[in-house]
Amino acid sequence: MTCGSVRFGGFRTACRDERDYYLERIYPAFGNLVPRDIASRAAKNVCDEGRGVGPGGQGVYLDFAEAIQRMGRKAVEAKYGNLFDMYQRITDEDPYTVPMRIYPAVHYTMGGLWVDYDLQTTIPGLFAIGEANFSDHGANRLGASALMQGLADGYFVLPSTINDYLARNPHTDTVDAAHPAVAEAVAETEDRINLLLSVDGDRTPDSFHREIGELMWEYCGMARTDDGLRKALARIPEIREEFWRRIKVPGTGEQFNQSLEKANRIVDYLELAELMCLDALHRAESCGGHFREESQTPDGEAERRDEEFSYAAAWEFTATGGAPVLHKEDLVFEYVHPTQRSYA
Residues of this chain that bind another protein (CB under 8 A): 86, 89-92, 155-156, 159-160, 202, 204, 206-207, 248, 250-251, 255-259
- Would you report the helix, strand and coil content of the chain in percent, each value rounded to 5? 50, 10, 40
Report in angstroms how near the CB of residue 110 gets to another protein at its nearest. 21
Return the number of the residue (120 or 161) whose C-beta is nearest another protein: 161
Backbone conformation region of residue 81, classed left if phi is above 0, alpha if psi is from -120 to 50, else beta: alpha
- Residue 148 CB, shortest distance to another protein, in Å, is 12
CB 296 within 8 A of CB 129: no
Give the span between the Cα atoms of 302 and 34, in whole angstroms.
13
Shortest CB 64 distance to another protein, Å: 21
Given the complex with another protein, which of 254 and 307 has the nearer CB atom? 254
- The Cα 124–Cα 118 span in angstroms is 11
Q: Which is nearer to another protein, 101 or 240 (CB)?
A: 101
Judged by DSSP in three states, 302 sits in strand
Minimum distance of another protein from residue 54's CB (angstroms): 10
Q: What are phi and psi of 247, to 5 degrees?
A: -70, 145
Q: Give the residue from 272, 251, 271 showing the smallest Cα distance to 261.
A: 251
For another protein, the closer of residues 116 and 261 by Cβ is 261
Closest approach of another protein to the CB of residue 107, in Å: 10
H or E element: which one contains 156?
none
Q: Is 57 or 324 the residue whose CB approaches another protein more closely?
A: 57
* Residue 174 vs 255, nearer CB to another protein: 255
H-type alpha helices, the chain: 3-6, 22-26, 36-48, 65-71, 73-91, 146-151, 158-167, 180-199, 205-219, 226-246, 258-282, 306-309
| Cα R_g (the chain), whole angstroms | 23
Distances (CA, A) of 39 to 21, 123, 205, 320: 12, 39, 33, 36
- Cβ proximity to another protein, 74 vs 328, nearer residue: 74
**∠ Cα 341 79 92 (to 5°):** 100
| CB 256 to another protein: min, Å | 5
CB closer to another protein, 256 vs 333: 256
The one-letter amino acid at 227: D
Give least dist CB 265 to another protein, A.
Answer: 13
Least CB distance to another protein at residue 2 (A): 11
Rounded Cα distance, 313 and 324, in Å: 11
